[in-house]
Amino acid sequence: MKFEDLKNELNKMSSSDKDKFIAELRNDCICHECPTYNNCTRKSKELLFCILGKSNCPMDERACLCPRDCSVHQKYDMKLSFYCSRGKETERRAELYTINI
Of the pLDDT bands very low, low, confident and very high (cuts 50, 70, 90), residue 45 is: very high
Give pLDDT tens digits for 49-78.
999 999 999 999 999 999 999 999 999 999
95 close to 58: Cβ distance less than 8 angstroms: no
The burial class, CB within 10 Å (0-12 / 13-18 / 19+), for 21 is: middle
Looking at the structure of the chain, the number of domains it has is: 1
- Measured CA to CA in angstroms, residue 96 lies from 30, 89, 90, 91 at distances of 25, 10, 10, 9
Q: Is residue 101 part of a domain?
A: no
pTM: 0.88
Q: Is residue 65 part of a domain?
A: yes
Q: Is residue 87 part of a domain?
A: yes
Angle formed at CA 30 by CA 21 and CA 68, multiple of 5 degrees:
110
Give pLDDT tens digits for 19-44.
999 999 999 999 999 999 999 999 99
Q: Is residue 24 part of a domain?
A: yes
- What's the domain range around 77? 3-96
Q: Is residue 41 part of a domain?
A: yes
Which amino acid does the sequence have at 89?
E
Which amino acid does the sequence have at 98?
T
Of the pLDDT bands very low, low, confident and very high (cuts 50, 70, 90), residue 83 is: very high
Residue 79 has pLDDT above 80, yes or no: yes
